[in-house]
Structure 1
């Protein structure tokens, strides 16, 4: 290296240190690997992959590099940051402003600003543009904005780059479209990919997709985190423990759950015990999520009770604790979530409260992975090369639910078999092979991660060392802080009062069964002449079930009764008592049934005939109602069904027969029927069985089930 080059690098480093001080304060100083990354990006114009722990300062690298590149002798175009979450985008815009960097974002929440922002980019008024990976394949953005953006980009940043790899714990098909963006960049355009959660396999995969990349991998220890695991017997104990110990946990933090129902229930229980908390899930409106984020940032609440919807990118440096009610399915995902805590505080508490139901939840989410080949081929067979078909129009033709179909189409798009266009999807006609072997290996990797997570919960060795070894950190060593190294900080004891409150809360039976009011779209395409609103004379009423399969309280109990593999047996006493409580509450209050039922009818079952008949008989005896019999299905109405509504209606719309002896009784009834089943999944079995009864003369139909899926 020449003396002139050395001088230039020294000058660039001096400028970089000055920019960092503007960003992070007068005493801030670049870490050695931060400088190596900045030097490679700004001086050598290389591609860099940074695998560094949360809080290391990856954002400082790309903000400093941006400032240097924008102020250079040959000033570059804007930095483009591909970022997965709106929460991360909002934090990054605020951080950029502190360094005097003008940042804008294009995402689904600011559609009305797109034209203005695009004009600002073309005018050179934007230093940093943050976009979501999904935006890369929005037809208008891809065709009209992306080519010019790729040609003018001064630096491309791929944040949370483990999402690029389908070996990663949070693979997102949209991230794979970065290959197209990378291919359109001018030569020597620097690229930075960053992540805190990549093992050796994911690191190698991402580096291979980047091309000739400098990989900077640092130690992943988080010396502020104190890890612990407590083995508690059931969900009520876990809620009671949280109520007893939440006040002792430092500052404010996050309580993670595995399901939306778990987050909702936990937040409701903690509020009932006087704690200021908010729930945060994918089903919460964006404005409410933003308000909850801000309340946590401002320490107005003790905790956000969240699903994985709150994960990558949420930046609260003084977050004091992370508690998991239920274990994530991957130790790498777990490390990523607990890494939100302790970034700017000396100590942060991390507590895992695993549950016996965790494995069942993991299996459910695993069942939603990439579909089998015959379903993929069915989708491709229904697409045209010159006539776009929307997902909504395609859905009735294939037995896949909307979100799974969308995910599959994104993968096929990346593979080149389909192309997204204005109005829907097109077949490209390119040859495509179902990669059975790779999908098998990915599934095996997921299964191995689940086993490893169970080992983490039971290990007697250092927990931080365990997690670091899962991430292939060569510097993994005992931390001296976790419960196994230093002894437990918390015990498993819970107070009688909190346990009684949790038992009562989780033991409350009763969730609504929402009636169907509209037929699925596109039924004509599958030969069913139903559309629009369901006639009021054919609708069922709002119903009731004991609980959801995902409930913290009733979930385990119900899964053991209604799961396909569950043995058939008469209704247990505790469930029978819960049904009676539901009927009592249903008869009174603001949401009482419109009219007392006049008789009971069951839906015939191939899997659990004794369970359903005994349940219906018990209801009839308790309510002193006539038991009319069962409505029967000509098809396998209770097959494992995770497909979409159109396919469900196609298979069931003419399946139910009302026996003559049942039909003969209907005209003489003065009130509605109670229609009894074990499980409501899509809701169409109950709706179409009820429709058949209404058409046969039933005045009304009140659905009653043991469980609701979800």
Structure 2
């Protein structure tokens, strides 16, 4: 292409940009690196990696390149995009530039056939595909080959997800290596991200070169965000942090996002802020798709002051005038933190970013770290089970045969699939028989990097130097320099004082005891394969009523009080008798439960009978805690303490799986027992019993114990525990 041709191409590119951003004056111009990327893709048919700060305009690169390539007769652009919120934003942005975009993802399965017909008819310029689709057997074997053959441009958005060195690694992204290798010669590829340090950048660039024969062009810019003012506020406890939000939320500019580390915390914070008169909405992994879209729309239209969100609202949400981001608790990675705060200040001169770290943060980090890649013996066990099967095994069929919970099992299988050891087919998973090596050194290195990232977040919170410079250095930004805007550069902009009224209200919200414990209603699938003759729905006469817990371990109220009592230690250490404040709170839970809807003291016509006695669960790690709690409940409620559901002789030292429902039920089915004296007591009690335990994680211990008690003659079982996991 001649220099004159390239000049004409640049003029066309600027014209497309003007349509994209709604510029009617004709003055819109691409940034120099935007043009370099577009030139590489359109003129030179190269592969490029663009690492630029959030809000820099990475999406403009692929939309402008798409328009130019389509004008030249190229096939549609395929964008691998990780989140529904990101897809919705991109479809709307494409329409502004006259680009017809469609999506294939989990929320629009009913449209897939129509979308594929439109692609075949040449009516689609951009197809956005979720990475999970890449390993769907039908899509992988039938749709993907046709797309790879016809695509004019492949875009990998949020490309740091490709790298298992990255903070947000997703195994489905690794399948892109296969797609890259199979692309026809001359098809350009663009990868974009705002959150890649030098190690991740090198890993992604190396994978981009797969099958291309040339190195990828890497365009990496400075990562300063001139509009952001970073602050850290250290407050004494969770109640003070909530009170600070209630007192100061209206002072923060515009509308924004309040990030929490867990779903439970998001729900607590939302309830409290609404109680204080603030217009906020939750946005978590539990939020239904329709409610998520409504929440996004409300924030975009400034109908809410803030979304209270987990990392489910992470990559790609685009609101240029977002005025603030507050983190109630520290993310475990400074790179993830940079990415999330980058939601703010894209189209305004000033935005506030505040971190309010909490004492519970590290316990939450440890929990998420515990679901890392499984140890080698579990991986080998899974490969052996698949290899010895004469048919594909679905996740429900495979789960009972290995010691892994379903979500962790699925993630592991996706990694093995990319490594060539297993393959997803119709009906489930099969082993390929290909040799596979457990890369223990790599997994250990990744784990050490995670630990280093956690230490970096501790260092960030305690830093006395420039906070933006700190984050930029974590991302290996060679141009990092003091920003002059953060609390350490320019001085604190916010006081830590809170009003007494807000603090009292926060303490009341966080101190309010009581969480419903939903009963298990279905036995896990596949129990027959491990020798247990239970399946389907648990009969009404063998299941418990809904129960109650004092709190969740993941919340920022009672969770902070209960974690020191209930956190697993090896070997288990008995916490001793139940503390008075905890016992008193459990009594309040019991009283509210009795009088509330469906309670035995509610006066409702269909109210169940009052409990006639207390039964405790045997505890391997905390026997005095559970026994003393049962005794206090019996004493206060003036009920007899009927006895304890125990473990069979010889089983006291064994610990059932905590990662797999079928294996856990099998172990409990074989070891839990109702002693004869307890069976006689519950049969003659003349009413339901309260079943007291310390922690409900999976709910299967309560379900199996309730079945045994009902079969022994109990007229009902009300579970009452100190805490639920999650």
TM bucket (normalised to shorter chain) is over 0.9
CA distance in 1, matches of 2:658, 2:541: 28
The CA deviation string for residues 205-248 of structure 1, in whole angstroms up to 9 with x for no partner, is: 00000111000000000000000000111111111000001000
Partner of 1:588: 595
Tell me which residue corresponds to 2:291.
288
Q: 284-293 or 599-608: which moved more?
A: 599-608
* Partner Cα separation in structure 1 for residue 35 and residue 530 of structure 2: 61
Runs of 5+ consecutive residues of structure 1 not aligned to the other structure: none
CA contact (8 A) 1:637 1:652 kept: no
Q: Deviations over 1:628-682 (max 9, x none)?
A: 2212112358837431211111101132222232222223212111111111111
- 1:564·1:640 contact (CA, 8 Å) conserved in 2? no
**Which residue of structure 1 aligns with residue 604 of structure 2?**
none
Supply the distance in 2 between the matched residues of 1:306 and 1:111 (Cα, whole angstroms).
26
Alpha-carbon contact 2:324-2:353 (below 8 Å) kept: yes
Give the whole-Å Cα distance in 1 for the aligned partners of 2:455 and 2:447.
13
Alpha-carbon distance in structure 1 between the residues aligned to 2:286 and 2:442: 32
Q: Which residue of 2 aligns with 1:646?
A: 662
Aligned mate of 1:18, from 12, 15, 18:
15
Aligned to 2:236: 233
Shift of the alpha carbon at 1:508?
A: 0.6
Partner of 2:159: 161
C-alpha contact 2:642 2:682 (8 A) present in aligned 1? no
Aligned to 1:380: 383
Tell me the equivalent position of 2:473.
469
Q: Counterparts in 2 of 1:618-629, with a 5 A limit?
A: 618-629=632-643
Secondary structure of the 1:365 match is helix
Match 2:687 to one of 671, 680, 697:
671
Indicate yes or no: 2:175 matched with 1:177. Answer: yes
Q: Where in structure 2 are the equivalents of 1:449-528 lying within 5 Å?
A: 449-528=453-532
1:71-470 map, 5 Å: 71-72=71-72, 75-211=73-209, 212-384=215-387, 387-470=391-474
Cα distance in 2 for partners of 1:445, 1:587 equals 49
Match of 2:547 in 1: 543
3-state DSSP of counterpart to 1:12: helix
- The CA distance in 1 between the partners of 2:333 and 2:191, in whole Å, is 22
SS in structure 1 opposite 2:217?
Answer: strand
**Deviation of the 1:539 alpha carbon:** 1.3
Deviations 1:459-478 (A, max 9, x none): 00000000000000000000
Q: Secondary structure at the match of 2:17?
A: helix
What is aligned with 2:621?
A: 607
With 665-674 and 267-276 compared, the bigger mean Cα shift is at 665-674
Name the residue aligned to 1:700. 716
How far does the alpha carbon of each residue in 1:485-535 deviate from its partner, in whole angstroms, 9 at most, with x for none?
Answer: 001111111110000000001101111111112111110011111111222
Question: Match of 1:238, SS?
Answer: helix
Maintained 8 Å contact 1:548/1:554: yes
The Cα of 1:362 is off from its aligned counterpart by 0.3
Report the Cα distance in structure 2 between the residues aligned to 1:270 and 1:287, rounded to whole angstroms.
22
Residues 42, 68 of structure 2: 8 Å contact kept: yes
**Is the contact between residue 668 and residue 704 of structure 2 (CA under 8 Å) also seen in structure 1?**
yes
CA deviations on 1:28-52 (whole Å, 9 max, x unpaired) are 2111101110111111111100000
Deviation (angstroms), 1:599 = 1.1
User: Residues 419, 373 of structure 1: CA spacing in aligned structure 2 closer, same or farther, 3 A cutoff?
Assistant: same
Say which is worse superposed, 451-460 or 695-704, in terms of deviation.
695-704
Decide which of 9, 16, 19 is 2:6's aligned counterpart.
9
Change (3 A) 1:193 1:637: farther
Gaps of 5+ in 2: 210-214, 601-607
User: How many angstroms apart in 1 are the aligned matches of 2:690 and 2:591?
Assistant: 14
TM-score, structure 1 normalization: 0.98
Quick one: distance in 2 between partners of 1:511 and 1:638? 29
Identify if the C-alpha distance between structure 1 residues 481 and 636 changes in structure 2 by more than 3 Å, giving closer, same or farther: farther
Give the conservation status (yes or no) of the 8 Å contact 1:637–1:685: no
User: What count of residue pairs does the alignment treat as equivalent?
Assistant: 705
Bigger Cα displacement from structure 2, 635-644 vs 272-281: 635-644
1:583: Cα distance to partner? 1.4
Whether contact under 8 Å (1:257, 1:263) holds in the other structure is yes
| Deviation string, structure 1 residues 376-400 (Cα, Å, up to 9, x no partner) | 1111111148622111111111121
TM-score (norm. length: structure 2): 0.96
The 3 A distance-change label for structure 1 pair 636 and 178 is farther
Query: Separation in 2 of the partners of 1:299 and 1:698?
Result: 55
Tell me, in whole angstroms, the C-alpha distance in 1 between the residues paired with 2:103 and 2:110.
12
Distance 1:610 1:458 in 2: 39
Residue deviations 1:246-267 (CA, integer Å, cap 9, x gap): 0000000000000000111111
